[in-house]
């Protein structure tokens, strides 16, 4: 139905423009008044009217009534029966607003903005306040839906003085939601108007700092901007931040398995955690007491929490075991705030006291999608391992990539090396043009998303070269990088870009150097676990801050860390590229 309506809407817009050209601006005209009539009654009155102007106004009212009753298709068809040349300027504003609302309802913000570009909108300031509010609100919504976040915020700032009560409060919060979602490079205040004030507040909040520093900076901002709307009433997330009781975490339980199949992983996490603790202590920071518990001996989480409470534990870091994390996530609440070092599989929100942090492969699939979008790419082919792991990372990449408007044109799951050449030939649709002729391949692939082991990757890249796709950029997850230091191992990966932890890309990091002196394996792929352990220590006292301000980030050694709405830590990673056997770090956002 939507496809059928679009030509009709285009005709309506053309007719509106023609009507504007022939319309005298001597009088604005009345707006529809339809409160006590149904759609059918208004159409009947229009059909019986002897006045073309009155009939057009009644039909405009009927279209509006249909829209309010969620009958979009009927509203659009009623528009088709309106003699738009009979509409006066105020009525054209009303019609343009209505068309914009219909466009937004079908997720077409560009059509909405086109409708709101009608010349009659010059008269908006002369119309009743409720019409001004309606039109400017839909314009703000359209700008936001079109990705014009700063312009949407500016529109809502202009709208703010017109609003009262709950509408004013909702608009106030929406301004902050828009401003705080802007990337740091767009938060550049200029001048001294309300917009500049909002932007400078966002600068304060986005500056990495402790809870105490953040609170002090916000109070300083309020003192400097005493008459600003946000100074008179802080946005709700900032009110929550200011209300967080400044109780330092003084006693932490580190809950990790000391026996069983996860003992080696747990050991690296524990050593990274304690290394960060000792580093903080050496630099004069206040440090909590740490008590280590063996989760492999825990038979009841209830018993563990009772023991921890009796010992004065304020925060639990762990467990690592997925079954225990799943168990905790299904509870309505926990007695102690807990930072689990793994993720449950549940899509349902867990208890408010549970936070989850891990090195999820899905995070890296999302990171590839984010980076490729930033690099201006649109069409992807995917190569992942065969099996459940490959299914998961491919699903994560596909969901994120398509949600951002990208297309996955093809995907393949690799397993046996003997089949790889044919699989990639099929993926790239390699065809011979004739006997002795040159081969051709598909041209609708901007880049290849790759998740593979180092051994698989060393076969994939040369095979791409052999199958006439060597120049197609490859964006890979960290799984391709062994961090072995063996340059010969990377020779076949020339040009492959991959995301990786700051720990493995920054050999000069002081904590890494300190840890690697005692545990040399921290320079290899196990370094990711040491980094995660260190970050768990850093995150522990900042969970409340991240919850109140989801836009805040912790620049960690396992990535740039933020908290999503499900209280899971998400990682944004730096990028590197294999170049002649060496690993070269790429600048942020560069192609």
Q: What is the mean pLDDT of residues 27-55?
A: 87
pLDDT of residue 184: 76
178 CB-near residues (< 8 Å, 6+ apart): 144, 149, 150, 152, 153, 156
Tokens representing residue 558 in the block: 């396992």
Question: pLDDT tier at 436 (50, 70, 90 boundaries)?
Answer: low
Specify whether 370 is located in the same domain as 495. yes
**Which tops the pLDDT comparison, 432 or 333?**
333
Most confident of 52-61, 115-124, 175-184, 265-274: 265-274
Question: What pairing do the DSSP bridges indicate for beta strands 379-385 and 337-340?
Answer: unpaired
pTM given for the model: 0.72
Helix (H, G, I), strand (E, B) or coil at 572: strand
Q: Mind spelling out the 3-state secondary structure of 420-455?
A: HHHHHHHHCCCEECCCCCCEECCCCCCEEEECCCHH
Residue 23 reports pLDDT greater than 50: no
In angstroms, the CA 74 to CA 37 distance is 16
pLDDT at 25: 39
Task: Say whether pLDDT at 425 is over 80.
Answer: yes
299 and 349 together in one domain = yes
Confidence of residue 267 (pLDDT cuts 50, 70, 90): very high
Residues 372 and 491 in one domain: yes
pLDDT at 21: 41
> What pLDDT, on a 0 to 100 scale, did the predictor assign at position 12?
57
**What is the mean pLDDT of the segment spanning 50-70?**
91
Q: Among the three residues 147, 169, 203, which one is the final residue of a domain in this structure? A: 147
Q: In this structure, is residue 220 part of a structural domain?
A: no
- Rounded to whole angstroms, the Cα distance separating 465 from 71 reads 55
* pLDDT at residue 311 greater than cutoff 70: yes
In a domain, 170, yes or no: no
**pLDDT, mean of residues 477-504:** 90
Mean pLDDT across the stretch 465-486?
A: 90
Q: Which pLDDT score is estimated for 22? A: 42
The residue-averaged pLDDT of 473-493 equals 88
Judge if 349 and 273 occupy the same domain. yes
Rounded to an integer, what distance in angstroms lies between the CA atom of residue 167 and that of residue 158?
14
**Residue range 123-152, pLDDT digits in tens:** 999 999 999 999 999 999 999 999 899 999
* Exposed/middle/buried for residue 588 (C-beta within 10 Å: 0-12, 13-18, 19+): exposed
Q: What local confidence, expressed as pLDDT, does residue 275 receive?
A: 96
Q: Identify the pLDDT of residue 84.
A: 77
Higher pLDDT, 19 or 530: 530
What's the CA gap between 466 and 487, in Å, rounded? 22
pLDDT score of 4 more than 80: no
Say which residues have a Cβ less than 8 Å from residue 220's Cβ, sequence separation at least 6. Answer: 204
- For 26, the domain range is 2-147
One domain, residues 21 and 45: yes
Within 8 A by CB and 6+ apart from 557, the residues are 501, 502, 503, 509, 511, 512, 531, 534, 535
Q: What is the pLDDT of residue 590?
A: 44
The answer to whether 190 and 216 have CB atoms below 8 angstroms apart is no
Kindly indicate the confidence band of residue 553, based on its pLDDT and cuts at 50, 70 and 90.
confident
The span from the CA of 180 to the CA of 183, in Å, is 8
Band (6; pLDDT cuts 50, 70, 90): low
Would you call 255 exposed, middle or buried from its count of C-beta atoms within 10 A (0-12, 13-18, 19+)?
A: buried
- Determine the pLDDT at residue 548: 82
Question: What's the total number of domains in the chain?
Answer: 3
In whole angstroms, what is the distance from residue 495 CA to residue 576 CA?
Answer: 10
Query: 217 exposed, middle or buried (CB, 10 Å; 0-12, 13-18, 19+)?
Result: middle
Residue 583: per-residue pLDDT: 92
Q: What is the pLDDT at residue 430? A: 84
CA distance 464 to 301: 50
DSSP-assigned beta bridge partners for residue 381? 410, 448
**pLDDT(272) > 80:** yes
Residue 229 lies in a domain: no
Residue 228: pLDDT over 80: yes
Spatial neighbors of 439 by CB under 8 A, at least 6 apart, are 430, 431, 432, 433, 468
Q: Is the pLDDT of residue 15 over 70?
A: no
What's residue 442's pLDDT? 85
Read off the pLDDT of each residue in 556-580 and give the average, rounded to a whole number: 93
- Residue 61 belongs to a domain: yes
**Residue 206 forms part of a structural domain:** no
Q: Say yes or no: 473 and 534 in one domain.
A: no
15, 131: one domain: yes
Same domain for 332 and 374: no
Is 302 found in the same domain as 389? Answer: no
| SS3 call for 561 | strand
Q: What is the CATH number of the domain that holds 299?
A: 3.40.50.2300
Whole-number pLDDT of residue 18? 47
* 16 and 119 co-located in one domain: yes
Quote the tokens at residue 185: 């490079």
* pLDDT score of 89 more than 80: yes
Q: Helix or strand or coil: residue 411?
A: strand
Q: Considering 126, 147, 168, which residue would you say is the last residue of a domain?
A: 147
Can you read off the two tokens belonging to residue 246? 């400044």
Find the range with the poorest average confidence among 24-28, 155-159, 210-214.
24-28
Q: Does the pLDDT at position 19 exceed 70? A: no
Q: Does 438 have pLDDT greater than 90?
A: no
Q: Is residue 444 part of a domain?
A: yes
Angle at 51 between CA 46 and CA 53, to 5 degrees: 80
- Rounded CA-CA distance 39/44 in Å is 9
pLDDT of 509 above 50? yes
Distance CA 312, CA 61 (A): 67
pLDDT of residue 108: 92
**Residue found under tokens 């909040």:** 205
Is the pLDDT at 13 greater than 50? The verdict is yes
Mean pLDDT value across the chain: 89
Asked if pLDDT for residue 20 goes beyond 80, the answer is no
Q: According to the model, what pLDDT value does residue 187 have?
A: 85
Do both 111 and 132 map to the same domain? yes
Q: What is the pLDDT averaged over residues 17-38?
A: 64
For residue 125, what is the domain's CATH number? 1.25.40
Calculate ∠ Cα 577-579-583, nearest 5°.
55
- Look at residue 341 and tell me if it is in a domain: yes
Domain C-terminal end among 147, 162, 193: 147
Tokens standing for residue 370: 């984010």
> Is residue 350 domain-shared with residue 451, that is, in the same domain?
no
Residue 524 neighbours by CB distance under 10 Å: 14
Q: Is 582 part of any domain? A: yes
Of 65, 115, 66, 68, residue with least CA distance to 92:
115
- Is the pLDDT score of 1 beyond 50? no
DSSP state of 574: -
């Amino acid at each position: 139905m939507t496809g059928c309506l679009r030509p009709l809407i285009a005709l309506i817009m053309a007719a509106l423009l023609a009507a504007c050209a022939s319309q005298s601006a001597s009088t604005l005209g009345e707006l529809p008044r339809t409160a006590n009539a149904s759609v059918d009654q208004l159409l009947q009155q229009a059909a019986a009217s002897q006045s073309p102007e009155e009939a057009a106004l009644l039909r405009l009212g009927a279209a509006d009534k249909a829209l309010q009753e969620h009958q979009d298709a009927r509203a659009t068809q009623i528009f088709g029966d309106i003699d738009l040349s009979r509409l006066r300027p105020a009525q054209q504003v009303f019609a343009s607003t209505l068309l914009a609302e219909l466009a937004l309802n079908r997720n077409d913000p560009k059509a909405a903005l086109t409708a709101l570009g009608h010349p009659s909108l010059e008269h908006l300031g002369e119309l009743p306040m409720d019409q001004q509010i309606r039109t400017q609100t839909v314009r703000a919504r359209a700008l936001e839906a079109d990705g014009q976040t700063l312009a949407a915020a500016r529109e809502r700032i202009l709208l703010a003085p017109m609003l009262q009560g709950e509408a004013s409060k909702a608009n106030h919060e929406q301004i902050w939601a828009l401003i705080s979602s802007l990337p740091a490079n767009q938060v550049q205040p200029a001048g001294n108007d309300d917009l500049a004030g909002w932007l400078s507040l966002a600068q304060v909040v986005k500056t990495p700092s402790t809870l105490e520093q953040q609170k002090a900076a916000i109070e300083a901002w309020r003192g400097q901007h005493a008459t600003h709307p946000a100074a008179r009433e802080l946005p709700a997330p900032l009110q929550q931040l200011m209300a967080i009781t400044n109780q330092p975490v003084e006693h932490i339980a580190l809950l990790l398995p000391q026996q069983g199949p996860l003992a080696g992983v747990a050991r690296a996490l524990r050593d990274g955690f304690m290394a960060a603790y000792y580093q903080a202590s050496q630099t004069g920071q206040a440090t909590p007491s740490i008590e280590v518990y063996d989760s492999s001996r825990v038979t009841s989480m209830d018993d563990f929490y009772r023991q921890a409470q009796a010992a004065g534990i304020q925060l639990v870091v762990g467990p690592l075991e997925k079954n225990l994390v799943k168990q905790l996530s299904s509870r309505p609440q926990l007695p102690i705030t807990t930072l689990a070092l793994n993720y449950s599989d549940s899509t349902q929100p867990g208890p408010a006291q549970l936070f989850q942090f891990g090195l999820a492969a899905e995070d890296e699939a999302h990171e590839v999608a984010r980076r490729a979008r930033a690099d201006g790419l649109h069409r992807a082919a995917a190569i992942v391992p065969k099996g459940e792991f490959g299914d998961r990372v491919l699903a994560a990449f596909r969901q994120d990539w398509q949600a951002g408007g990208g297309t996955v044109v093809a995907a393949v799951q690799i397993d046996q090396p003997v089949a790889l050449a044919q699989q990639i030939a099929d993926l790239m649709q390699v065809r011979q043009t004739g006997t002795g002729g040159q081969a051709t391949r598909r041209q609708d692939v901007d880049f290849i998303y790759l998740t593979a082991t180092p051994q698989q990757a060393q076969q994939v890249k040369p095979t791409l070269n052999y199958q006439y796709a060597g120049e197609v950029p490859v964006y890979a997850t960290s799984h391709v990088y062994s961090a072995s230091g063996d340059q010969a191992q990377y020779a076949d990966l020339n040009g492959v870009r991959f995301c990786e932890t700051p720990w493995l890309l920054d050999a000069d990091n002081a904590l890494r150097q300190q840890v690697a002196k005692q545990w040399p394996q921290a320079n290899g792929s196990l370094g990711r676990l040491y980094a995660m352990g260190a970050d768990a220590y850093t995150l522990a006292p900042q969970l409340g801050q991240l919850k109140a301000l989801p836009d805040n980030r912790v620049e960690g050694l396992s990535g740039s860390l933020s908290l999503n709405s499900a209280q899971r830590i998400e990682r944004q990673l730096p990028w590197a590229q294999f170049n002649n056997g060496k690993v070269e770090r790429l600048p942020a956002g560069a192609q």
